[in-house]
Chains A and B, each alone.
Chain A
């Protein structure tokens, strides 16, 4: 350690393993996939993988901010299911008066975003103003939203009116120049998220809050507001993910969005964001999301490994990612 001379850190050098690790893992997965199945790199398969990553991806970008600011949100999966159910109910109820058309789709979208924001603000309020542990608050709201969607659906499935679904369907399956809408929205969210995280005052406030709450407070950072905004933004992003999700199958049930929260958190951690907060990387989260969905995709495309082991492979990658982070901390 003492041999590390200052000019080594100043001059150009290889990026550390915590930066390279996720990228290498992604490249290795792509190479394995391409070798095992010739259809892996086909446009259709790439579109499928990117579009299905979009839900978790959009949510994971919001989760990156929450975790960077030292928080956690376990409720996003149930929240997505609840918002999807609510959106379907509102659109079905408005159908007789509004008819099928752009306005009713916009009504559904506004419902999703407003509901997401309110749900996020509620989590944020309980955590910041009442000072309850984020883990406990969101564990509670996770159960509440999951029960609410089961109750709304009467234990069954809420389905969007068939005509409406046909009209709304292109939002998941079509797009511009062959790039489908979920991929476009995911890309826009990532670009905005990356700019805010690495270039804006708010991004620095998140890192400061997560790094050391008291120091941030004395440095004139409004810790409470920073955290509250991160939860509200995550809620809005859950709403946006739901807008992309509902047109796919046109239904929501108690099994919608199960374990999305853990996939989103895993993606954030694989991408190099520190679980304890203080450092976040939006582009890393994107790589984390792609790694997780590529594992599932490759296992489905080959008969190489039993799909029972999907979770085990994801688990190994998550643990490896954290080991790489620890090495970086030890080195610094």
Chain B
């Protein structure tokens, strides 16, 4: 009994003194919670998150960062709860794995008075976050569609690859369809390649069997473009003029920069948007500059002329 009391007293004393220490130096803690690197784009996002955290810890001595990667929504909820309980975070930067399961825990963080920055995938309830940083999926589809129209002024037959069935994919494809409407471009078929090389390889093989002539492909993603290109190469079909991918994978950006006629362009959906979010959060915590609101990062058309501006050789994506 006596021992345990002493222990509790000691523990309390330590807790109080460390809290006092933290307050004395006014170190603010920023929690960063992101999905683990389970595919190429997420790998790039992880890379930029780590790089930004390392850089900002140097730049702002008054800020401390906690970075957690989660392989599923449940783990991400636990990560956020742990950050609140053990690190008493002053701000949270979160890229939700899924909107619905992450909404209540993020709301709890916001209710506790901490700053909340939500990245890319919005929460199910509006108005929780102080800052929303996101890519532009509609713009992604529109820019891709407009490029196809400009590249094929006389129209032509194309096939379209879709991603994993999600809102993101629907928004992209709907804007793409709207952008090519009335241009004479005819969509022969749309199929889900699930943002996966192997799936899109298989689907493209079957498209090549099904259609004797295809003028161009909107692969809508660079991983899918790689599968599509391999299938075209294997079938030896030379009537296909070009394949338009997207998201700006470094290998594909390089090929565009080198003037590869099959990959004349790319449309960005930068995984480095996590860096924008962390950076803006840090600015908000350390200065008087207002950063609340929403920050939409436009999808930009990359061609041979500007490709090297989007080439990050060190990133895994």
Interface residues of A (CB under 8 A from B): 37, 39-40, 42, 44-45, 48, 52, 150, 153-157, 159, 173, 248-249, 251, 253-256, 258, 296-297, 300-301, 303, 307-308
Q: B135 an interface residue at 8 Å Cβ cutoff?
A: no
For A153, list chain B residues within 8 Å (CB). 43, 316
Cross-interface CB contact of B44 among A156, A173, A248, A297, cutoff 8 Å = A156
Q: B241 an interface residue at 8 Å Cβ cutoff?
A: no
Cross-interface CB contact of A156 among B192, B201, B208, B317, cutoff 8 Å = B317
Q: Are B197 and A251 in contact (CB under 8 A)?
A: yes
Question: What is the interface of chain B mostly: helix, strand, loop, or mixed?
Answer: helix
CA separation between A297 and B199, bound complex, in Å?
12
- Per-residue CB proximity of B74-86 to A under 8 Å, as 1/0? 0000000000000
Cross-interface CB contact of A37 among B46, B203, B210, cutoff 8 Å = B210
Known A-B contacts A249-B198, A307-B192, A308-B165; A45 and B40 likewise in contact (beta carbons under 8 Å): no
Q: B286 an interface residue at 8 Å Cβ cutoff?
A: no
Q: A154-B47, A155-B46 are in contact. List 16 more A-B contacts (CB 8 A).
A: A39-B210, A48-B206, A52-B202, A155-B40, A156-B37, A156-B44, A157-B223, A157-B316, A248-B201, A249-B227, A253-B40, A254-B39, A256-B198, A258-B196, A303-B189, A308-B192
Known A-B contacts A156-B316, A249-B201; A254 and B209 likewise in contact (beta carbons under 8 Å): no
CA separation between A55 and B214, bound complex, in Å?
29
Q: Are B209 and A42 in contact (CB under 8 A)?
A: yes
A-B contact pairs, 27 of them (CB 8 A): A39-B209, A44-B209, A45-B209, A150-B36, A154-B43, A155-B36, A155-B37, A155-B38, A155-B40, A155-B42, A155-B43, A155-B44, A155-B47, A156-B316, A157-B43, A157-B223, A248-B201, A248-B230, A249-B197, A249-B201, A249-B227, A254-B39, A258-B196, A300-B191, A300-B203, A300-B210, A301-B209
Q: B251 an interface residue at 8 Å Cβ cutoff?
A: yes
Q: Are B226 and A249 in contact (CB under 8 A)?
A: yes
CA separation between A154 and B45, bound complex, in Å?
11
Instruction: Give the 5 A-B CB pairs with smallest separation, nearest first.
Output: A155-B37, A155-B43, A156-B316, A300-B206, A156-B43
**Which chain B residues (254-311) contact chain A, with CB distance < 8 Å?**
none
For A253, list chain B residues within 8 Å (CB). 39-40, 197
- Per-residue CB proximity of B220-258 to A under 8 Å, as 1/0? 000100110010001100000000000000010000000
Shortest beta-carbon distance from A241 to chain B in Å: 13
Which chain B residue lies CB-closest to A303? Answer: B189
Q: B207 an interface residue at 8 Å Cβ cutoff?
A: yes
Which chain A residue lies CB-closest to B226? Answer: A249
Chain A CB count within 10 A is highest, among B197, B207, B315, for B197
Cross-interface CB contact of B207 among A52, A258, A300, cutoff 8 Å = A300
Q: B177 an interface residue at 8 Å Cβ cutoff?
A: no
Q: B205 an interface residue at 8 Å Cβ cutoff?
A: yes
Shortest beta-carbon distance from A94 to chain B in Å: 22
Question: What is the interface of chain A mostly: helix, strand, loop, or mixed?
Answer: mixed
For A307, list chain B residues within 8 Å (CB). 191-192
CA separation between A300 and B190, bound complex, in Å?
10
CA separation between A303 and B38, bound complex, in Å?
32
Q: Are A296 and B39 in contact (CB under 8 A)?
A: no
Shortest beta-carbon distance from A251 to chain B in Å: 7
For B201, list chain A residues within 8 Å (CB). 248-249
For B235, list chain A residues within 8 Å (CB). 44
CA separation between A39 and B211, bound complex, in Å?
9
Which chain A residue lies CB-closest to B37? Answer: A155
For A37, list chain B residues within 8 Å (CB). 209-210
Known A-B contacts A156-B44, A307-B192; A301 and B210 likewise in contact (beta carbons under 8 Å): yes
Which chain A residue lies CB-closest to B229? Answer: A249
For B251, list chain A residues within 8 Å (CB). 159
Known A-B contacts A154-B316, A159-B251, A300-B206; A254 and B38 likewise in contact (beta carbons under 8 Å): yes
CA separation between A303 and B206, bound complex, in Å?
12
Cross-interface CB contact of A296 among B42, B202, B208, B316, cutoff 8 Å = B202
CA separation between A155 and B317, bound complex, in Å?
8
CA separation between A156 and B206, bound complex, in Å?
27
Q: Are B234 and A173 in contact (CB under 8 A)?
A: yes
Cross-interface CB contact of A255 among B39, B46, B192, cutoff 8 Å = B39
Chain B CB count within 10 A is highest, among A157, A173, A251, for A157
For B223, list chain A residues within 8 Å (CB). 157
Chain A CB count within 10 A is highest, among B197, B205, B209, for B209
Shortest beta-carbon distance from A281 to chain B in Å: 27
Q: Are A155 and B202 in contact (CB under 8 A)?
A: no
Q: Are B226 and A155 in contact (CB under 8 A)?
A: no
CA separation between A297 and B206, bound complex, in Å?
7
CA separation between A153 and B315, bound complex, in Å?
11
Q: Are A255 and B43 in contact (CB under 8 A)?
A: no
For A296, list chain B residues within 8 Å (CB). 202
CA separation between A189 and B207, bound complex, in Å?
30
Which chain B residue lies CB-closest to A151? Answer: B37
For B42, list chain A residues within 8 Å (CB). 155
CA separation between A301 and B191, bound complex, in Å?
11
For B210, list chain A residues within 8 Å (CB). 37, 39, 300-301
CA separation between A173 and B205, bound complex, in Å?
13
CA separation between A157 and B223, bound complex, in Å?
9
CA separation between A44 and B209, bound complex, in Å?
7
Q: Are A150 and B197 in contact (CB under 8 A)?
A: no
Q: Are A156 and B165 in contact (CB under 8 A)?
A: no
CA separation between A254 and B39, bound complex, in Å?
6
For B227, list chain A residues within 8 Å (CB). 249
CA separation between A159 and B316, bound complex, in Å?
11
Q: Are A254 and B198 in contact (CB under 8 A)?
A: no
CA separation between A258 and B315, bound complex, in Å?
24
For B203, list chain A residues within 8 Å (CB). 300
CA separation between A37 and B316, bound complex, in Å?
41
